Structure 1
């Protein structure tokens, strides 16, 4: 049996930093069996004597209980492995209310559970986060209640970024360089959406949180669910396909805003939302998208691409729809403000009318009309007087112009006995211009005569 175990797992898998949870017990048995053959001083124990005491008791007292077995395995691990220093990527980190920290360390081949008690966790100089590459120092032990192999960590040091964190940062830099995170591409959310699309697991708590939040805040909105797998193989492609389905407006009815997300989990559980196809589908979506992945401290690539990020699915419901209570309060406030403005306008008009009613004109209207008639008569007399004076001045100017025009009349000399001499239609003012034998025309006041110059 031991030879089969060794052949199945090989020496490479028996390092304390890469113990697989599904083969913890087999590893321990193989460790002991290979101790002498592999020349590990701390494991110098023949397989035949590994459970010699157990075999002796079993012959006399029957089979072992589970408690006895796990207790002996714990003693074996603590005695034969003891203190270790392990390097691995931090995943599934949680801090209990008591302050104790529970997490796992993993590499490409295996994963092991760890616990760090509160009095040791208080001395940490950093905040552990999933994806960190850590050095853990502590004692390898067995948790008897579940039969789980674990490391009771006494000290943690940051060694760098884990494989998942490196992949996350690499994709983040690539997409950021292509402009997928730019604010210029962010679309505003509709104020009163009629239909809200949801891409999440059809049976998860996130769906319940989103539905109950929208129903409580804005019952008029209709929800349209596209259920998908949110973790595991193929989850990323399902999410991307659902986003494209809504983005191409093939849904009936078409949605106004889309919520994409899931509940909290480890880095591995949330990894589907860090895949590049999902990010590009979200970027190409024509409708506004809200990302609601994990808890407030969880950040995914989808959070950076989407138009808005909600820390939790419940907060996503608060982002996509208004609160009915707030809307009703705003309507009541606006109604009250409108009523007050109308009252103010009516009061102002009433005060203006009262002022006019108390004015001098309203107290003595007959006297006011008489004064107006007197002013009108005076203006009419002034107008008539001014018009007569203007007419007289115009007549004088016309008479003067007429006199000047009469003096300039070319026929006036003819009336005094003079004649006008013309030759070939032109006036002859000088005698030197005529010679003997010239024919001329003499114009008189009452006609003309032809004549010839004799000398």
Structure 2
């Protein structure tokens, strides 16, 4: 009997999604995070803000996705065919089973070390507060003068001067020349700024522009100098930076009071157009004219109203004279009535006073008569007529007691019809 063949061990059967997740886990454990250099290909920028592209070289390519959060932090705009270096994480897009790289950061190829140095300096200066929005100032809309720091041979100088001549030719511009590229550029830029700071202290300028045209990160590296950053922060007046193109960012941009995307935009931010000021003046003139006209119209209306109330002066005066006459007659009549009333009251008071005086006089006469009768009754002469006498000594003192006399004493006796002198004799003995 022939031997029975044993079936071979069957391989594990995967679900498609589970296999994709297993592959993704293997990639995560083996490669991530990963840095890749390649050429941008098939770049797509949908309205969502994400970036979709492939990185390729002569041997292969890999699909990439950069989500909006990371894309907004880019310091440049990627272009088709540009060599870049990216950092991110490998994964599997399970819906299609595609291998893809989720990009977190991106720099132009060859600039990775400089970019990392830029990020470290940016983080340190930001921690020190050099980028704080609270210390930043807004340039004056009507500057007395503008200081300009750039290279005399740079295209940025022509762009700025052209923009200022077009917008505010009345504002003087002071150029402080300096190299904007190379090893010695930061020191020259600082010296140029310091010279403008002295002019600002004298009141000659009140806005400073620091500008140069676009270029690679190496070309713009002078504006990532730490000492230049600290010099910018020391500016006594608002400082506007316009370095590179709109997608270029430097440390100088973060330290400046205002960051402009281009040198021309920096000039436009530093001075409001002359036409705008003239338009404002015309608007103010028209507004003042309307206000004055309204006040004149209002005053004319009040004058007309007053004139209508006043009418003809002679008629008004005649009416007032008639009113005055009536008031005079009424006052005269009222005073006459008052005098008559007061006269009648006075006569009544006089009559009452006369009656009261007459009564008091009668009563006084009666009282006087009674008093006179009483006095007459008390008259000592009446007593003397009844045979009595009033004795007094030589000094005129009345003698009312025998004890006041002595023999031989001279006395005077007052009788009813005269006086007689008397001599006191001793009492006779019976």
Please, what TM-score do these two structures have when normalized by structure 2?
0.52
Q: Alpha-carbon deviations, 1:194-228, whole Å to 9, x = none?
A: 32111112112211111000000111112221222
Is the CA contact 2:35–2:85 (under 8 Å) kept in the aligned structure 1? Answer: yes
CA drift of 1:158 comes to 2.8
Counterpart Cα distance in 2 of 1:339 and 1:200: 46
Counterpart Cα distance in 2 of 1:208 and 1:130: 26
Match of 1:179 among 115, 129, 138: 129
Cα distance change of structure 1 residues 347 and 173 upon mapping to structure 2, 3 Å threshold: same
Would you say 1:134 and 2:86 are equivalent positions?
yes
Is the CA contact 1:263–1:312 (under 8 Å) kept in the aligned structure 2? Answer: yes
Cα distance change of structure 1 residues 288 and 125 upon mapping to structure 2, 3 Å threshold: closer
**Higher mean C-alpha deviation, range 250-259 or range 306-315:** 250-259
CA drift of 1:186 comes to 2.1
Is the CA contact 2:75–2:249 (under 8 Å) kept in the aligned structure 1? Answer: no
Q: Alpha-carbon deviations, 1:242-285, whole Å to 9, x = none?
A: 11221133899942211002112222222221211111001112
2:231 alignment counterpart: 281
Counterpart Cα distance in 1 of 2:298 and 2:144: 43
Counterpart Cα distance in 2 of 1:175 and 1:382: 101
Cα distance change of structure 1 residues 165 and 346 upon mapping to structure 2, 3 Å threshold: same
Secondary structure of 1:287's match? coil
Would you say 1:373 and 2:350 are equivalent positions?
no
How is 1:1-400 mapped onto 2 (pairs within 5 angstroms)? 87=35, 124-126=65-67, 127=71, 129=74, 133-134=85-86, 158=103, 160=105, 162-249=112-199, 254-359=204-309, 362=312, 364-370=315-321, 373=324, 377=328
Counterpart Cα distance in 2 of 1:215 and 1:121: 51
Counterpart Cα distance in 2 of 1:190 and 1:312: 19
Cα distance change of structure 1 residues 176 and 130 upon mapping to structure 2, 3 Å threshold: closer
Cα distance change of structure 1 residues 345 and 122 upon mapping to structure 2, 3 Å threshold: farther
Counterpart Cα distance in 1 of 2:295 and 2:212: 54
Secondary structure of 2:129's match? coil
Counterpart Cα distance in 2 of 1:159 and 1:191: 40
Is the CA contact 1:361–1:368 (under 8 Å) kept in the aligned structure 2? Answer: no
Secondary structure of 1:248's match? helix
CA drift of 1:381 comes to 6.9
Secondary structure of 1:249's match? helix
Cα distance change of structure 1 residues 327 and 346 upon mapping to structure 2, 3 Å threshold: same
For structure 1, the 5+ residue unaligned runs are: 1-85, 102-113, 137-153, 397-455
How is 1:388-427 mapped onto 2 (pairs within 5 angstroms)? none
1:37 alignment counterpart: none
Is the CA contact 1:260–1:289 (under 8 Å) kept in the aligned structure 2? Answer: yes
1:3 alignment counterpart: none
Is the CA contact 2:147–2:174 (under 8 Å) kept in the aligned structure 1? Answer: yes
CA drift of 1:361 comes to 5.5
For structure 2, the 5+ residue unaligned runs are: 1-33, 46-54, 77-83, 89-98, 107-111, 350-430
Counterpart Cα distance in 2 of 1:332 and 1:157: 57
Is the CA contact 1:291–1:303 (under 8 Å) kept in the aligned structure 2? Answer: yes
Larger radius of gyration: 2
Counterpart Cα distance in 1 of 2:147 and 2:284: 32
